[in-house]
């Protein structure tokens, strides 16, 4: 199973998950391409429930390049100030139209909910503190961007968030699906898929 953002389900056609990839231009021997058997978006998917499971056609081979990221405990709270990392292939600035060929990583802090709630950009009025996390590096202007959607926000080796949305110009803060809120749904869904 792969955890991602449900808004990624809006992409039509077949989905293939790429694992163990660092440079998209190269065929690295660590790379695994696995087709998705089934997409399972949250039943109440909307901007507040932006989470989806992808059931793969076959198991991934775990290695030093492909591993598992543990889920948090149900309802676990990530404290503001916690340092987390985001990875993705989007560009490194809003001015750059194309994404990156090389996997990028940036460290950001979890922010107080009010940073998103009081943001003057009108899109932030959709922010819901019970299902979302606010994060970014406000001083250095670092955050995820559109091409990073569905990727993990990892805090202390735990998948605490999923890149969901943010400002249209790519400036922080970013909004992340709060994974701990959905752990009961994830576990229930996994039980229904057991043979």
> Does 83-180 match 2-66+182-192 at the fold level?
yes
CA dihedral for 34, 185, 11, 172, sign (positive or negative)? negative
Mean pLDDT value across residues 49-65: 96
Contacts of 33 (CB under 8 A, 6+ apart): 16, 17, 18, 19
Residues 64-94: pLDDT tens digits? 999 999 999 999 999 999 999 998 876 555 4
pLDDT at residue 194, as a whole number: 75
Looking at the predicted structure, is the pLDDT value of residue 54 above 50? yes
Looking at the predicted structure, is the pLDDT value of residue 116 above 60? yes
User: pLDDT: is 93 or 15 the higher one?
Assistant: 15
Looking at the predicted structure, is the pLDDT value of residue 52 above 70? yes
pLDDT at residue 88, as a whole number: 83
Q: Measure the CA–CA gap between 162 and 176, rounded to whole angstroms.
A: 5
Mean pLDDT value across residues 32-54: 95
Reported confidence tier of residue 95, pLDDT bands at 50, 70, 90: very low
Looking at the predicted structure, is the pLDDT value of residue 32 above 70? yes
Mean pLDDT value across residues 100-106: 81
Q: Measured in Å, how far apart are the chain's first and last C-alpha atoms?
A: 15
Burial profile 84-107: b = 16 or more Cβ within 10 angstroms, e = fewer? bebebbbbeeeeeeebbeeebebe
Looking at the predicted structure, is the pLDDT value of residue 112 above 60? yes
Domain parsing of the chain, residue ranges: 2-66+182-192, 83-180
Q: Are 73 and 183 in contact (CB under 8 A)?
A: yes
DSSP 94: T
Fold classification of 83-180 (topology level): Thrombin, subunit H (2.40.10)
Looking at the predicted structure, is the pLDDT value of residue 165 above 90? yes
Percent of the chain exceeding pLDDT 70 equals 94
Q: Measure the CA–CA gap between 111 and 173, rounded to whole angstroms.
A: 8
pTM of the model: 0.91
Looking at the predicted structure, is the pLDDT value of residue 108 above 70? yes
CATH for the 2-66+182-192 domain, from 2.40.10.10, 3.90.550.10, 3.40.120.10, 3.90.79.10: 2.40.10.10
């Amino acid at each position: 199973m792969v955890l991602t953002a449900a808004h990624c389900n809006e992409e039509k056609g077949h989905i293939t998950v790429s694992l163990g990839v660092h440079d998209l231009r190269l065929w690295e021997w660590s790379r695994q391409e696995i087709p998705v058997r089934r997409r399972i978006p949250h039943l109440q998917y909307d901007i507040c429930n932006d989470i989806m499971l992808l059931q793969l056609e076959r198991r991934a081979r775990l290695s030093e390049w492909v591993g598992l990221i543990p889920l948090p405990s149900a309802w676990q709270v990530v404290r503001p100030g916690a340092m987390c990392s985001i990875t993705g292939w989007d560009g490194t600035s809003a001015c750059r139209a194309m994404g990156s060929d090389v996997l990028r990583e940036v460290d950001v802090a979890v922010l107080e909910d009010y940073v998103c709630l009081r943001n003057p950009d009108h899109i932030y009025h959709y922010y819901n503190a019970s299902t979302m996390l606010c994060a970014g590096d406000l001083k250095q202007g670092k955050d995820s961007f559109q091409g990073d959607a569905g990727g993990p926000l990892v805090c202390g080796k735990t998948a605490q968030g999923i890149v969901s949305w943010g400002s249209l110009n790519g400036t922080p803060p970013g909004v992340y699906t709060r994974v701990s809120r959905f752990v009961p749904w994830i576990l229930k869904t996994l039980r229904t898929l057991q043979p």
